[in-house]
Amino acid sequence: MSETGHHTHIPFRENRFLIFSLVLMLLAFLLTGWIAWLNYSMHRSATTQILKSQQLQERAQAHVQDQYTEYLKQEAANRRFEKAFEIKQRHYADFMGAVSDAWLAVNRSDTTAELRDTTLLENALHQMRKSCYGLEPFMDMGGRHFLQKRITLFEKLSTQLASGAEYRYKVNQDADKAQLSGISDELQSFLYPLLFEPAAAQETQSGN
């Protein structure tokens, strides 16, 4: 007696259900992956936007800080300029006032022997020296050397003219007075632009 093989037959309905389930699972997997990728992309985009916003904010803050720092530097520079200007103005006025007093003392002593008094001249020359020390920090070595030479010559001539010494020739006395007056003008012409018009003084020195 021959045996016939027994094969299990799976209905098509059951195969269709299995395939449908597999498709659903695949779709669910793909959907989950797409949602995960979408969340990642949105998170990455949001993170990038936040970083850009932070960078822009930091740049803006840095710009404001730089502007404030520059403002403080400018204010400090303005205060230093104003303070230096006041100091220079005070010493310059004292110096040129002393030069004027010295010139006045020389001319007063020349008027008559009874009015001759060296006290005014001595005080004026002393004030010149004191004011000169206040001006020196605002000059370079060449300027200080020039000023000291002119002051020394001014002191010599004014003292000689106010001492009452008789000049052998009046023309020599007039020449010394003219030189003294010239030094007075020279001191003013030298100091004023140097102290209050430094750019113009530099251009003049460069041209010379």
Residue 14: the pLDDT is: 59
User: 1-10, 21-30, 77-86, 118-127: which range is least confident on average?
Assistant: 1-10
- pTM exceeds 0.95 for this model: no
Contacts for 185 with CB less than 8 Å, ≥ 6 apart: none
* Nearest C-alpha neighbor of 96 from the set 107, 108, 85, 88: 88
Q: Are 29 and 36 in contact (CB under 8 A)?
A: no
pLDDT digits (tens, 9 = 90+) for 57-100: 888 888 888 888 888 888 877 788 788 889 999 999 999 999 99
* Nearest C-alpha neighbor of 108 from the set 99, 117, 100: 117
Reduced 3-state DSSP string for 77-122 = HHHHHHHHHHHHHHHHHHHHHHHHHHHHHHHHHHHCHHHCCHHHHH
Residue 205 pLDDT more than 80? no
Residue 208 pLDDT more than 70? no
Q: Looking at residues 118-137, what average pLDDT do you find? A: 91
Q: Within 10 A of 161 (CB to CB), how many other CB atoms are there?
A: 23
